[in-house]
Structures are given as structure tokens and as C-alpha cells.
Amino acid sequence: MVQACAFVVLIVLAGWGITVGAGAMPYRWQWHKIPQFVVRVIDGELYAGPLIRGLGVSLRISALAFGVTIFAGLMAALLLLSRSIVGRGLARIYVEVIRNTPLLVQLYLFYFVLAPILGIGREATGVLALGLFEGAFAAEIIRAGILAVPRAQTEAGQSLGLTRGYIYRFIILPQALRIVLPPLTSLSISLVKHSAIVSAIAIFDLTNEGRNIIADTFMTFEVWLTVALIYLVVTTTMSWLASWLEHRLRTDQPRS
């Protein structure tokens, strides 16, 4: 409740600041034209405007990239914990290189270098670049979650003669999932925000649609504020869901 009130106060203060700033600028505001870019009514039927269509592209790319994130993060985490020196080295190189270079640079490298080699389009390139970028962060989250599972669980499985793969699949990973689910949910919020960068390779996501509208109407402030508001609504909703999930998992955890 306190967080919700603080959020509302912050939004009110931001709105007040924008209003005061707008009054001091020689700028002709045209907010009445914004609704047509969100939804449109044609012959009595409701259609999504360019901003909503762009949002759909952003959410689709984010969802697909999150799947790549989970796969890449899980593979890297397992390699980091493996007994193979080569596997640990490759995983560490992947994590360190991805985490310590800008996402935009990686996106351009994927688009201009790897995409022609792999024969993939712009959207697939954006999904792959975003997924592998976030996967480097997910790898450390998953690795920490696996290490948080008591070692006695592994030893118990070994005493029963279970293979290492079976132990990870049916004993370790299900318990680690409970630990890593909240931070991975937060990572998905970051992924949605980072998805705006795919507009740099001409993908018609929410950010690119906003840029195109500005080019046609010159309503710079109105459009960018609307785009920011749409992102805010999406990420805030996801944040509340992440908080609810974390609370649910914490309350459902059996007490010792």
C-alpha cells in the first residue's frame, strides 16, 4: 500500500513538472491528436493504432527473447558448474564478454555480421541479441539458485545411485526454480525495457512507431511521453506481478 501511494505521488509530481515545464516553453501542444495513434474507430469498429501495434511487436520480441534468455542462461550456468575446464572457460568468456560490452554494439554485430551468415531476418536478430544479452545475467542468477540448494540433496541422490543428469533434472533444478523465479521475473521486466533498442535495426516496435509518428506530425513531446507511459504501464504491471509471485513463493515455502 505504501509503495502504491509513493508511486502515485511520484506520477503526480512528474505530471506537475511536465505541466510547469510545458508552460514555460513556446510549444503548441496537441494532445487531442494522440488517441488516434493508440486506437482508431473505422466504420464503427475499433482498431489498434500504430502505437498499440508497435507494443504488440515489442511484447512478442520480448517473449521470444525471454525464451532464449532462459535457455542460454541455463546452459551457461550448468557449464559454469560443470567439471569440464573447457566448458567452464567458454561459459565464463560468454558471460564476461556479453555483460561488459554495450547491448547496442552487440546488436549491430549480430545484424551486420552474424545475421547474413545465419540467414536470419531483423526480428530474429533482435530476439537473438536480446536473449543472449539477458542470458548472461540469467546465468549468474541460475547458478546462484543451484548453489543455494543444500548439497545434501545431491549427496542423497548419489547415495541412491542416480546419475548426475537425473539428479539435476529431478532434484536440483526443481528446487532451484523456486529460488530463481522472482529474480528471473524481474529480469523479464528489464528485457521489455531493453527491447526498445531493436528499433535501431528498423524493427517496427513501439519505439520505432513513435519515431515514425513524430516524423509525420512533429509532436515530439506528446508522442514520447505517450510511449513512455505505455512502457511504464507494462513494466509496472509486470513488477507488481513479480512482487506478488515472490510473496506467494515466500508464504508457500514450508517452515522448518
In a domain, residue 26? The reply is yes
Element (H, E) at 33: none
Residues 6+ apart with CB under 8 A from 224: 210, 214
In a domain, residue 5? The reply is no
Going along the chain, which residue ranges are E strands?
39-42, 45-48
User: What is the domain extent for residue 57?
Assistant: 16-252
In a domain, residue 11? The reply is no
Pairing state between β 39-42 and 45-48? antiparallel
In a domain, residue 10? The reply is no
pLDDT tens for each residue of the chain, 256 residues long: 666 676 677 777 777 777 677 667 777 888 899 999 999 888 778 889 999 999 999 999 999 999 999 999 999 999 999 989 999 999 999 999 999 999 999 999 999 999 999 999 999 999 999 999 999 999 999 999 999 998 888 888 888 888 888 888 888 888 888 889 888 988 999 999 999 999 999 899 999 999 999 999 989 889 999 999 999 999 989 888 888 877 777 776 655 4
Rounded Cα distance, 87 and 23, in Å: 60
| pLDDT of 203 | 92
In a domain, residue 115? The reply is yes
Give the CATH number, domain containing residue 163: 1.10.3720.10
In a domain, residue 4? The reply is no
Rounded Cα distance, 164 and 145, in Å: 17
| pLDDT of 256 | 45
Total number of domains constituting the chain: 1
Question: CB of 70 within 8 A of CB of 132?
Answer: no
Rounded Cα distance, 59 and 34, in Å: 21
